[in-house]
Structure 1
Amino acid sequence: MSSNKHLNIFQTPFHNPSIFQIRDKTRFEGQLVDFCVPANSYFPPPEMVELIERNMQDILKYYPDYSQVYQECISDLCGSPAENIVAANGITEVITILCRESRGPILTSVPTFGRWTDIPPDFDIPVHYLQRKKENAFQLSADEVIQAARETAASTVVISNPNNPTGAWFEGDDIRAIADALSDVDHILIDESFIEFSDLESAERLAMDSPNIIVVKSMGKSLGWHGIRLGYAVANTELAEALRRKVPYWNINGLAGFVLKNMWRFKDEYQSSFAKVAQDRDYMFEQLQTIPGLVTYPSKCNFLFSELPRGVSGKHVRDLLLDHYGLVVRECSNKVGSTEFYLRNVVRRKEQTDALVNALGEVLATLQDRTPAPQPEEAEG
């Protein structure tokens, strides 16, 4: 049992508490090692931080630029034309608009990013779930998505590629097959927030040539800075223009805008960071395989999804790792389609991975000696 009396901060319906809340409630404070927030470990470089510090007075004093400036900056990074890009205050801004305006039903696979499951009920829009199964390593086929869309009469189909939290993925041919078969639905929304960490083909080009596909991306993961709140969407010119009219004026804050406008200085470091994360992911995957009873699934993201030994509670594991080791992990019981028997651990550098693997091995060795609790055969909603 954890000796920390303040871990009830994790009793949130959808997401983990902020790192600031966790620091305030634990004895480790600034010494915490975070395996929860999926940020790039190799970006931004120190030179970028110094550039921001030197210009902070202007960043805070003046209004930011207009959206067209940021569309051009994002275009320079991703290669899609600026006219097809919608700059957003984090991916949630775009997801909220797209879910709110869907006539429903919405179909999404689960488990997935919580906003895809949490927002539709807020607007009384029916949402159906396509369950990913552990016996298939949480992978889905294009045929499964197409069949589920037809059975639910979905007007909006959400595809996360690669998927959060499982790390499972669709190949480019699968995405094209889904797009061809579902060309009659209102929207196919493809969440590519983690695709930079993979070798997968982006659907941005497909979206620009399609009447109903919109690709959405969070930039906090790849930039390593979730706090600046950046994301974007890519669609055909008509859809992109319509979506831009629905986001607030000056929706990109001054700090986020400054980062975008100066990314050209650090493009080499940005691009090379993803290969480094991939190397660390391979290392972390191998090391997690050495923990008896823990099953870790292949991933194309900058995190790994692991099933705990039978009967071991992820909530208990999370609390012990935090209370005794100062390690923050993501227990997945508050994700639709998952249970407390799964952890999502963000890929970190090797020395941090070693610390997690050693601590997790010690905790699981202790807990497995106790009487196991019932555990379902697969993740269920």
Structure 2
Amino acid sequence: MKIKIKMTTHGDDARKYKNVMDFASNLNPYGVSKKTLQAVTNNLNKISQYPDSDCTELRKELARYNNINPENIIAGNGSAEIIRLFCEVFLNRGDGVLITVPSFSEYGANAKLFGGKIEYVGLNPYDNFKIGVDEILNKVNNNTRIIFLCSPNNPTGKLISKEDVQKIVKENPQTHIFLDEAFIEFSKQNSLAEEVEKYKNLFILRSMTKFFGLAGLRVGYGIGNKNLIKRLSDLKLVWNVNSLAQIAAIESLKDEEYIRDSKDLMGGEKQNLFKKLSVIPGIRIYPSDANFFLINIKDTGLRSHEMKMKLLERGILIRDCSNFRGLNENYVRICVRTREDNEKLINAIKEII
């Protein structure tokens, strides 16, 4: 019997509009590394060649970057491929899945696709959407196969502390803990990548999309113990990461100046944007550990889709969060961009409310 699953709708609709400032996609506003662009340009002849299906050189560079072994890494055609592959390999029909909400919708969509029985753990807006460890642990039972966590969480921007993740991992050795760290480079917390051999049930998802700006090339990767990675690798599609994507990812990881400058610039702009949005009447902005902010706009009298359309009229695109499970039309999300762009956003919001 076929299961019909309605796949999720994301906020990646900047391509639909011309000449807009994209505050919806949560990408590094400083774009792709110049060294990366040059490397891709220099290797356009690779288009006529098959890519390395094992992503050998890419996994070596990812291993160096994360201080682990290449055998602990699987590369994918974006993080979405890794999420689907993980569910395909480790979920049987009827297995329990825990997901905190609001969070990235692909966890639930792919868990359903492979027959998972999902239980959602709601996050409290009056506690700044903090992920409660005890609430998660109280939901776990003998049927729970996967717990999906996102840190920093999308769309709330909240981190889960290393100690809280370790507590969940240690107390549930028979359950896979899937930790999505797609936005970890924007935070001040280190990745748990080096813990995957110590904790055999811990799997970490990482992305080259957000911080490194390779959204159009699709590169994501997973980190786990060697046996887990082998199980995933045995079932992944061949040639899943194209040649230019592999080259771009390798060069991006090598560009230490780009990495350092991006973190420095983003940190300053983030503080400035938070401070100025916080004083606008009717807006409640939640503290964030990532490069974006979740905002409650209920007291402005506008609904999320109305604010989105009014800002689009001014050449600005934000994320309407009404389709996130656990949120509604009172919420929007905006990411941090350059000082000039951020000032335009602030002025535009003041105009419409």
Once residues 286 and 158 of structure 1 are traced to their aligned partners in structure 2, the CA distance between those partners, rounded to angstroms, is 32
Once residues 229 and 266 of structure 2 are traced to their aligned partners in structure 1, the CA distance between those partners, rounded to angstroms, is 31
2:293 pairs with 1:298: no
2:158 pairs with 1:158: no
Q: Which amino acid aligns with 1:16?
A: G
Deviation of the 1:262 alpha carbon: 2.5
TM (normalized to structure 2)? 0.92
Q: Which amino acid aligns with 2:138?
A: Q
Match of 2:3 in 1: none
Match of 1:234 in 2: 223
Match of 2:75 in 1: 87
Q: Which amino acid aligns with 1:63?
A: Y
Written as runs of structure 1 = structure 2, the 5 A alignment for 1:350-369 is 350-364=339-353
Structure 1, unmatched stretches of 5+, are: 1-11, 24-28, 365-381
Match of 1:121 in 2: 112
Once residues 347 and 146 of structure 2 are traced to their aligned partners in structure 1, the CA distance between those partners, rounded to angstroms, is 44
Q: SS of 1:325's equivalent?
A: coil
Q: What per-residue deviation string (whole Å, max 9, x for no partner) do you get for residues 31-81 of structure 1? A: 21000111112342334323322332x131222224222211211222221
Cα gap change, 1:37 to 1:264, in 2 (>3 Å): closer
Deviation of the 1:85 alpha carbon: 0.6
Deviation of the 1:216 alpha carbon: 0.8
Q: SS of 2:245's equivalent?
A: helix
Q: SS of 2:39's equivalent?
A: helix
2:175 pairs with 1:180: no
Once residues 84 and 18 of structure 1 are traced to their aligned partners in structure 2, the CA distance between those partners, rounded to angstroms, is 34
Match of 2:140 in 1: 149
Q: Which amino acid aligns with 1:328?
A: L
TM (normalized to structure 1)? 0.85
Once residues 247 and 343 of structure 2 are traced to their aligned partners in structure 1, the CA distance between those partners, rounded to angstroms, is 36
Match of 2:4 in 1: none
Structure 2, unmatched stretches of 5+, are: 1-6
Q: Which amino acid aligns with 2:80?
A: T
Q: SS of 2:200's equivalent?
A: coil
2:50 pairs with 1:55: no
Deviation of the 1:235 alpha carbon: 0.6
Written as runs of structure 1 = structure 2, the 5 A alignment for 1:1-381 is 14-16=9-11, 18-20=13-15, 22-23=16-17, 29=18, 31-56=19-44, 58-67=45-54, 68-100=56-88, 101-103=90-92, 104-150=95-141, 153-185=143-175, 187-263=176-252, 265-310=254-299, 311-322=301-312, 324-364=313-353
Once residues 213 and 264 of structure 1 are traced to their aligned partners in structure 2, the CA distance between those partners, rounded to angstroms, is 24
Once residues 227 and 152 of structure 2 are traced to their aligned partners in structure 1, the CA distance between those partners, rounded to angstroms, is 27
Once residues 315 and 67 of structure 2 are traced to their aligned partners in structure 1, the CA distance between those partners, rounded to angstroms, is 40
Once residues 61 and 305 of structure 2 are traced to their aligned partners in structure 1, the CA distance between those partners, rounded to angstroms, is 41
Q: SS of 2:210's equivalent?
A: helix
Once residues 46 and 195 of structure 1 are traced to their aligned partners in structure 2, the CA distance between those partners, rounded to angstroms, is 22
Once residues 265 and 117 of structure 1 are traced to their aligned partners in structure 2, the CA distance between those partners, rounded to angstroms, is 34
- Say whether the 8 Å CA contact 2:152–2:289 is kept in structure 1: yes
Q: How many residues align?
A: 342
Once residues 242 and 99 of structure 1 are traced to their aligned partners in structure 2, the CA distance between those partners, rounded to angstroms, is 12
- Say whether the 8 Å CA contact 2:179–2:205 is kept in structure 1: yes
